[in-house]
Amino acid sequence: MKKLRKLFVFTLSLALLLSGIALDGAKTQAAGKTYKVKVSLSGKKTVRVKSGKKNVKKKTVTVKKGDKIYFSHTKNKKVKSVIYKSMNKKYVTITKKGRAAARKAGTAKIKITVKRKKGKALSTWVRIKVKGNAKSENNSQNPSPQPDSDTPSDTPDAPETPPTDTPSNTPDAPETPPAETPSDTPDVPETPPTDTPSDTQDAPETPPTDKPSNNGKSLVLYFSRAGENYNVGVVEKGSTQIVAEMIAEETGADLFKLETVNAYPENYMECVTVTQEEKNTNARPELKAVPANLAEYKNIYLGYPIWHADMPMALYTFLENNDLSGKTVLPFCTHAGSGLAGTVETIRTKCPGATVTEGFAIAGTTVQESTESTKSNLGVWLEKVRPQEDTSGFDLEKRTVMLNNGIEMPILGIGTYTLSDSQAENSVYWALRDGYRLIDTARIYGNETGVGRGIKRAIDEGLVTREEIFVTTKMWTSDYDNGAAAIDASLNRLGLDYIDLMILHHSQPSNDVQAYQAMEQAVRDGKLKSIGLSNYYTAEDFDRLVNATSIVPALLQNETHPYHQSTMMKEHLKQYGTVMESWFPLGGRGNTQTLFNDETIADIAKAHNKTSAQIILRWHLQAGNIAIPGSSNESHIQENYEIFDFELTKDEMKQMSNLDKNERFADY
């Protein structure tokens, strides 16, 4: 049902985009090169790029009323004349001629630009890799480079819904990991590993714009009055403005000053009269403007002076006319003795659906007289309430992370370690039905066939499409000398044309470089989209492989859980943009109860009315770890996915990070 609704919204988005074109009549064509579409409705628009009959790219961009979307092709490099069919359908479609030109050069790029009515234009490239040569394009008999088979390289065909699952407290299924499985190898590493970014060369030059735009962005929105201030005398700059600017400087937030259409008198007594009247009549003074891009911000520092033991009525105008739900509001005020005066509670009432933090109050005189004291007081508050900076690139709303190759990957998936073929088939099917979009298996688990069957069942029933899901498998160490064959064998067992991510299951200095190079070749051949590593536990070992190969690993899958948080490895991975994926996210068989009964975790679970498993999984995602809990239990699979309706606070995240013992449970 959810899926259907999503599909509907998606289709509707396209329809709106199209109708925008038709209704606005603002489309212009510049010699078949650039298409401009004025958008009449706001929201997320998904733009598809087609080649032949096949959708090769999908980009989602957030647009606002009056924005214009432009499509253009690259003029640089070798492709000078890629021509597109008209935009009067749902797609930008490359013409035959365009394909031929692109094929000749090897790639074609389409630029999608969203020109904002206000603010900076955003643009992103969609690169289309075309195999074969131009000649074959003209030979309809020649099947080789079918237009339809153009291989998108860096496609962010991101699953609309990502994945998440978590293994919960299921006794019957180990989350993900390890090693007991391998059949022919005694020392098998448990879980697998990691994925790698693929053909970096194809990476979009400009960071994709379809990332959720409000992820972590902050705005300081304030009201302040210069002139004669109570207790302060005549000031050039209002006290609240001074604090607002300090916050912006400290946090990197944008600044916006709220102003009323009718300015207030500079003279204090006159101002008191006017504002008292406004308060008495519960007036809503008209605002000159509000930020046009408010939707882009996740955090709003809201500043105001205290007037008549309350916020200025202009703040009521703002709060009642703007939807701040889903955002974090951080109130601060300057005053002459009243403190916050109940304004935080008022803001909470006026902002349903928003998280309103503890407020900050400082006397206007302090602000005007001592920068040092103001900064130090402000610093204490900011330290307490400031939203954690998300440097992980994890988007918990979309439930995906952008890998270092421009491909979006779901951040919560179903693990299948220790599952039989039939168990894996069911788990994968249930998971996909419940919303998961990431599936993790390995050749050594012996269940790729079952995983493939589960995927097929879900696709055949219309629950998902192949493009919406993300399948990871791992190459086992005994296959490292024959990587190409191992990749083909996994593709066969899974019943797939391509694998989203393949990772080397374990470090093996004697021949892992060779195996990785086989995966690099498979990326070039379109068999693998991303590649990475698993079970590399030292920076030196990781760098050894990276230095000997050309595609930077997209991901490293290591044992990671609250008692082994992989902090040092994560720090090391930052320079590569490689993301950490956790196997044994809940500690693994025999250890889950240890983690579930950990007092800190149990207390946090109680506070959120969630299970310990859900708390741990949520922690993984907020800490920037992809998690792949395994389970063969239908209800646990479902439960593990239900971690997107709450958030761990900064303090809870800190408590979780204090649990780190840097101790692995697995003992191989």
Ligand X SMILES: Cc1cc2nc3c(=O)[nH]c(=O)nc-3n(C[C@H](O)[C@H](O)[C@H](O)COP(=O)(O)O)c2cc1C
Query: Which positions are annotated as active-site residues?
Result: 445
Least distance to ligand X, CB of residue 433, Å? 55
E strand or H helix at 229: strand 227-229
In DSSP notation, 36-94 reads: EEE-SS-EEEEEEEEETTEEEEEEEEEE-TT-EEEEEE--SSS-----B--SSSSEEEE
Least distance to ligand X, CB of residue 333, Å? 7
Give the residue with the Cβ less far from ligand X, 368 or 427.
Answer: 368
- In this structure, are residues 390 and 398 in contact, taking their beta carbons and an 8 Å threshold? no
Give the residue with the Cβ less far from ligand X, 169 or 240.
Answer: 240
In DSSP notation, 160-199 reads: SS-------S-TT---S--TT--SS-TT--SS--------
Spatial neighbors of 485 by CB under 8 A, at least 6 apart, are: 479
Least distance to ligand X, CB of residue 203, Å? 46
Count of CB atoms situated within 10 Å of the CB of 286: 10
Give the residue with the Cβ less far from ligand X, 203 or 235.
Answer: 235
Give the residue with the Cβ less far from ligand X, 363 or 637.
Answer: 363
Give the residue with the Cβ less far from ligand X, 305 or 406.
Answer: 305
- In this structure, are residues 659 and 650 in contact, taking their beta carbons and an 8 Å threshold? no
Give the residue with the Cβ less far from ligand X, 333 or 504.
Answer: 333
Spatial neighbors of 448 by CB under 8 A, at least 6 apart, are: 441, 442, 473, 490, 493, 494
CA dihedral of residues 171, 417, 554, 617 (deg, nearest 10): -10
In angstroms, what CA-CA distances link 512 with 87, 475, 544, 557, 649? Answer: 47, 10, 10, 15, 41
E strand or H helix at 606: helix 599-608
Least distance to ligand X, CB of residue 286, Å? 18
Distance CA 634, CA 657 (A): 30
- Parallel/antiparallel/unpaired status of strands 528-534 and 555-559: parallel
Contacting positions for ligand X (CB under 6 A): 224-225, 229-232, 238-241, 268, 271-272, 275, 305-309, 334-338, 364
Give the residue with the Cβ less far from ligand X, 54 or 308.
Answer: 308
Structure token pair of residue 179: 């090693």
- In this structure, are residues 567 and 162 in contact, taking their beta carbons and an 8 Å threshold? no
- Parallel/antiparallel/unpaired status of strands 394-395 and 400-402: antiparallel
Least distance to ligand X, CB of residue 272, Å? 5
Least distance to ligand X, CB of residue 300, Å? 17
- DSSP letter assigned to residue 117: S
What is the rounded end-to-end Cα distance, in angstroms, of the chain? 44
Spatial neighbors of 261 by CB under 8 A, at least 6 apart, are: 285, 286, 287, 288
Instruction: Point out which residues pair with 530 in neighbouring strands.
Output: 501
Distance CA 170, CA 430 (A): 15
Distance CA 458, CA 638 (A): 16
E strand or H helix at 428: helix 421-434
Least distance to ligand X, CB of residue 351, Å? 21
Give the residue with the Cβ less far from ligand X, 152 or 364.
Answer: 364
Count of CB atoms situated within 10 Å of the CB of 447: 27
Measured from each CB, the residue nearest to ligand X is 364
- In this structure, are residues 40 and 24 in contact, taking their beta carbons and an 8 Å threshold? yes
Give the residue with the Cβ less far from ligand X, 281 or 609.
Answer: 281
Distance CA 342, CA 287 (A): 23
3-state secondary structure of 19: helix
Least distance to ligand X, CB of residue 310, Å? 7
In angstroms, what CA-CA distances link 477 with 68, 498, 508? Answer: 52, 21, 7
Q: Which residue, 490, 483, 467, 486, is CA-closest to 407?
A: 467
Spatial neighbors of 496 by CB under 8 A, at least 6 apart, are: 452, 455, 466, 471
Spatial neighbors of 216 by CB under 8 A, at least 6 apart, are: 298, 299, 387, 389, 390
Structure token pair of residue 597: 């009964």
Least distance to ligand X, CB of residue 244, Å? 9
Give the residue with the Cβ less far from ligand X, 32 or 227.
Answer: 227
